[in-house]
Structure 1
Amino acid sequence: MDGLDAHWRRLIGVVAFLMAAAFILPVLVRAPNLQENRELSPPPPWPRHLSEAPAFRDGVEAAVADRFPARRFLIPFLNAARLPLGVSGSGRVIVGRDGWLFYDNGSHLGAARGSEALSPAQTRAWLQGLAGRTEALGAVPYLVLTPPVKETVFPRFAPGWMGPPAPDRPALRLARLAQETGAGTVLYPHDAVAAQGPRAYSRHDTHWTGYGAYGGYETLMRALQSRGVGQGPRPRSAFVEAPIAYGAQQADLANMEGVKGFVRLDNPQLIDPRVQGRVAITYLGADHSWMGPRVIETGEVGKPTLMLTVDSFSNALLPLLYGDFSRLIVAHNQDGPWRPDLIAAYHPDAVVLEVLETGLASSLVPGPPASPQARDRIDQVLGPAPALRPVGAEAAALDPAPPASCGLDVAELTPTSVGGPGWRLRAAGWISDLGPGPGLVAGRIRLTGPGGDWVGDLAVTQDRPDVAAFFHKPQVAVSGYEQTVSTGPLAAGAYAVRLYRRTPGGWVSCKGRDLTLGGRAP
């Protein structure tokens, strides 16, 4: 019995020591960085009824687990042990080969595999958006620069199940269609980035390094030079490597795993030492971070002014541009990838949208409308816009639909001769029931007027962070749409446009506006 009692005393002592250490360790030792890319579970509200007790218990368990003091130590050490085995401890990180990490946006590298293809309606709206911006600037070049995700540049380091990058993935397809339709210019510097070698991307970060950014810089400057802006790219020898200090090192994927302190980081930046020291930045608002809108004066006299709307890949790109421009006007895409206010204020010699290929699909709407001629060119390549159909039996489901919260930013009828004489209806805006969950994709667009009542399909797939911010409801961010449909010849008169969206509770509707035709289509 004495031996058994001693065993239990030792066991209790060990458990007590471990519990005490779990609370004392975070006070004595700095925890490794851990960026989980999610909100920790909040404490649940007290139950009001006995039936809510199980949910309250589960909520307490999740909240306590997320706040266990030793958690920030246990997760990094466990993840560091699992990485050599190819196992990720984060739902946002995929472990590839040779220790390379890749970001998972939920599609499991869908941009590289081609699984995130745009629908015909999305493709048409995207090209119309590009054409509208290009036409609005007239003689000022408008270029879209889209950095490739690193799994397309280094598929040999990606997990084996990914396979080779899809040859018709959205970035390649949109760049090709932009050229074929004359809608505008999309620069996808995949090959130029790959030519920079394996240091073009950090194995522990989503972003390109200074070397990868040089491939983007080279592609952009050649395109601008061909349009009469700038002198073309300077050689890579004009730049020197400037390793980013440890504390400023991004290493976002290693941070998500909590293993930044366990791996060798290599994320060099390239700078022009001749210019870097005299750069002056003036912020245009309260945000003085890299995401804040700003004017960068480089001290280079007599050189062009370039305006860019950007994402985080710009951090390595911008230092390469300082020596080629007198002034850079920079704004983040989250504030709007089309900034006519800044264009009007600073009169740039060229305007560039820089956006990673995973964000390309949602970056060209809304914007100025494309001309009927540009839409005809797009329709000639893609085929006529989908035709409206008689509402018929669908009216029984749509007519009683209750009103939704919505905005109709654009509604217009323009003539077309593609596929035969008729009219083209374009509508853009947002629609939501503001419910607790995300709405469904399925929608309808309806046109009612002299001699007919027609309906067509509407895909509600566009991200509208402005709507989510206004209502303080992140779940309604995906509420935007842009759709173009075709009709036959229409009689003169007033036509009503109405939008619908399917929700878990049924259809909801949005009263649009009346459009008036003074005559028939040609």
Structure 2
Amino acid sequence: MSKRLILILCSLFLMFFFFISLNISGKITSNEKINLLAEIKTSTDDTYQLFYDTGKGYNESDSIPYFVSGSSEFQQIKFILPVADIVSLRLDFGSKISEIQIKAIYLQNARNKTNITDEFDLKHDIGSYSTNNGLITFTSIGTDPFINTKDISKSFYSLKNKSSIYILNIVISLFFTIVFFFLLKTNSIHIANLINFLKNNLQSTILIVTFILLIFIPLFSNILPKKQLVSNNENRVLASKPELTFKNINTFPKEFEKYFNDNFAMRNQLLTLNNYIKVKTLQISPNPLVVLGKNDWLFYTGDNAPESMDDYRGIVRFTDSELNTIKSNLETRKKWLNQKGITYLLCIAPNKQTIYPEYLPNNIRKINDETRMDQLINYLEKNSNIDVLDLRKTLFENKSGDMLYYKTDTHWNEYGAYYGYQEIMKSLNSIYPNLKPIPISSFSIDKSSGLGGDISNMLGMKAEYVDSYIHLQPKFNTHVTDLKVDNNMYPNPEQLVTKQINDEKLPKLIMFRDSFSTSMIPLLSLHFNKSIYIWDHKFNGNIIEREKPNIVIDETVERLLPTLLLPNSIEVK
């Protein structure tokens, strides 16, 4: 064998072995080994969620859900962080009202741990809290209570392995390359004969190499670190890799089997193929949150599947006690606001299946014509002075024209949002005569087609669906600009929207909302000196006292009507 060929083979071996050793050592000292551990006590079952910011802000894709079971004892919840280059953390405590106690929160890897409890800010919709001997006690009172840190990158850095992993890998790779070199020198004649044989049997060699690659590529894919923690196709947390210890030696095989079943190579692609066959060929939904409708319409069943569909069918009901609680909450809000000279409006955006039941599959039929929305509105009409802006009528009246909701998304489109905005302005006009809806003729209408919406993404088939998109563009000049505020003074600051016109003659608006208001914000903002849109269904009196608005709007989508059961904040009496 020539010296040149030996040199080439040794160089290739060095690079290959260095790559393999780097991955193996990375499994030992990698980012995935840094965990966030929280010692908590709560009596309520709920799903917590840890968001991690790598310098780009918080977003849903960089988050880890964790289901917490209620217990009278302290328990340890563990979030496995996929990266170590993290700037800050945010821990959300679910949506249920519960008393929570925190003993400690810390970061930990295989060698060290550091307590970061004091790094968290305790002011984001968690209600009043107390600290006694390091034990934090509070009650989560909103739909999005959370605590978050500022920059804690130094804490992550202190946990990293400070030895030079690259130098170590180079030394190991050089050692084995020298061993490989001597093996080549010793067996050069046999290796040369093997190379000549492979050259003379090129076709068979390619077939054998291809076969070996097909076998081993999935194996190497399983060795590489997994960054996906949540399956979009299944909307659940994937099993994390267990660590073998003396304590779990009996349960390790089952835990590892769960991990492997959730993380084997090409799993995502196979799930997408499975979903495609079920949806397009068998007309079966692989996701309990999604109902396949007629003509490629998709419907969302709600987070507590199939609650929204059971609501449509008239199966889910408010109890008398719940109706009375909602009535009491709303009357207290209205009375408290009216005493301050503030107008209050409750607005309900209908579910898509409420407006377009004709596209539901034939097997979903009404058992009772009365839904929870009917139940609540009828109850309030008979027993209260609360006026509810029911948007169903205007949407039914206008559905004969262009579509008002997306076929593959949970939300209404900009047409549907316009009619919702129009009714809000008409309702406010009786008190504020200058507030009049801008006619739709004042907007140019652009239509386009694009990929499917959020429901098609739940099927892992966003690219397989096409939806129609409508954009309303004002033909007039607008003077709306962003209003600069301290986002951290509001719940759910990432979703906060603030606008202004700088016209003191116009009233000031605060809206507590959900995602259905997003398309109405550009329209509503045209009418207010300042408008603050808070993505939260908890009625926050503290914000109202601070901002002193003229108008407060509660907007909720029909499927989230149970959030009206949430108690008012302590300021509202």
1:323-381 per-position Cα deviation (integer Å, ceiling 9, x unaligned): 22222111111xx52122222222222110111111112225312799xxxxxxxxxxx
Preserved contact between residue 500 and residue 531 of structure 2 (Cα < 8 Å): yes
Distance 1:330 1:250, change over 3 A: farther
Preserved contact between residue 349 and residue 558 of structure 2 (Cα < 8 Å): yes
Q: What is the number of residues matched between the two proteins?
A: 355
2:298 is the alignment partner of 1:92: no
**Superposed, which structure 2 residues align to 1:210-221 within 5 Å?**
210-221=414-425
Q: CA deviation at 1:184?
A: 1.2
What's 1:186 paired with?
A: 388
Distance 1:199 1:338, change over 3 A: same
Distance in 2, matches of 1:183 and 1:11, equals: 81
Distance 1:240 1:291, change over 3 A: farther
**Superposed, which structure 2 residues align to 1:345-364 within 5 Å?**
345-364=546-565
What's 1:338 paired with?
A: 539
Q: Secondary structure at the match of 1:234?
A: coil
2:505 is the alignment partner of 1:302: yes
Q: CA deviation at 1:257?
A: 0.9
Amino acid at match of 2:330: L
**Superposed, which structure 2 residues align to 1:335-484 within 5 Å?**
337-367=538-568
Distance in 1, matches of 2:332 and 2:234, equals: 39
Question: Structure 2 residue aligned with 1:116, among 316, 339, 343?
Answer: 316
**Superposed, which structure 2 residues align to 1:34-49 within 5 Å?**
34=232, 36-46=234-244, 48=246
Q: CA deviation at 1:111?
A: 2.3
Amino acid at match of 1:181: N
Question: Structure 2 residue aligned with 1:238, among 442, 452, 455?
Answer: 442
Q: Secondary structure at the match of 1:270?
A: strand
Preserved contact between residue 452 and residue 467 of structure 2 (Cα < 8 Å): no
Using structure 2 for the length normalisation, give the TM-score.
0.55
2:277 is the alignment partner of 1:76: no
2:514 is the alignment partner of 1:311: yes
Distance 1:142 1:362, change over 3 A: same
Distance 1:141 1:225, change over 3 A: same
Using structure 1 for the length normalisation, give the TM-score.
0.60
Amino acid at match of 2:528: F
Q: CA deviation at 1:288?
A: 11
2:252 is the alignment partner of 1:62: no
**Superposed, which structure 2 residues align to 1:188-227 within 5 Å?**
188-197=390-399, 199-227=403-431
What's 1:421 paired with?
A: none
Distance in 1, matches of 2:291 and 2:236, equals: 16
Question: Structure 1 residue aligned with 2:476, among 274, 289, 298?
Answer: 274
Preserved contact between residue 217 and residue 321 of structure 1 (Cα < 8 Å): yes
What's 1:263 paired with?
A: 465
Amino acid at match of 1:259: M
What's 2:456 paired with?
A: 254
Q: Is there any run of 5+ residues in structure 2 with no aligned partner, and where?
A: 1-205
Preserved contact between residue 421 and residue 524 of structure 2 (Cα < 8 Å): yes
Distance in 2, matches of 1:150 and 1:217, equals: 17
Preserved contact between residue 309 and residue 338 of structure 1 (Cα < 8 Å): yes
What's 1:136 paired with?
A: 336
Identity %: 22
Distance 1:180 1:262, change over 3 A: same
Question: Structure 1 residue aligned with 2:327, among 111, 127, 130?
Answer: 127
What's 1:496 paired with?
A: none
Preserved contact between residue 289 and residue 300 of structure 2 (Cα < 8 Å): yes
Question: Structure 2 residue aligned with 1:154, among 356, 379, 386?
Answer: 356
| Greater Cα offset, 224-233 or 117-126 | 224-233
Preserved contact between residue 418 and residue 520 of structure 2 (Cα < 8 Å): yes
Amino acid at match of 1:281: L
Distance in 2, matches of 1:276 and 1:21, equals: 56
Q: CA deviation at 1:134?
A: 0.7
1:35-90 per-position Cα deviation (integer Å, ceiling 9, x unaligned): 6432222233546468x73x533332222232234122222233233223321222
Question: Structure 1 residue aligned with 2:524, among 293, 317, 321?
Answer: 321
Structure label with greater radius of gyration: 2
Amino acid at match of 2:421: Y
Preserved contact between residue 229 and residue 304 of structure 1 (Cα < 8 Å): no
| Greater Cα offset, 352-361 or 259-268 | 259-268
1:4-27 per-position Cα deviation (integer Å, ceiling 9, x unaligned): xxxxx98996685266279679x9
Q: Secondary structure at the match of 2:333?
A: helix
Distance in 1, matches of 2:368 and 2:520, equals: 26
- RMSD between aligned residues: 3.8
Q: CA deviation at 1:312?
A: 0.9
| Greater Cα offset, 142-151 or 106-115 | 106-115
Distance 1:368 1:34, change over 3 A: closer
Amino acid at match of 2:242: P
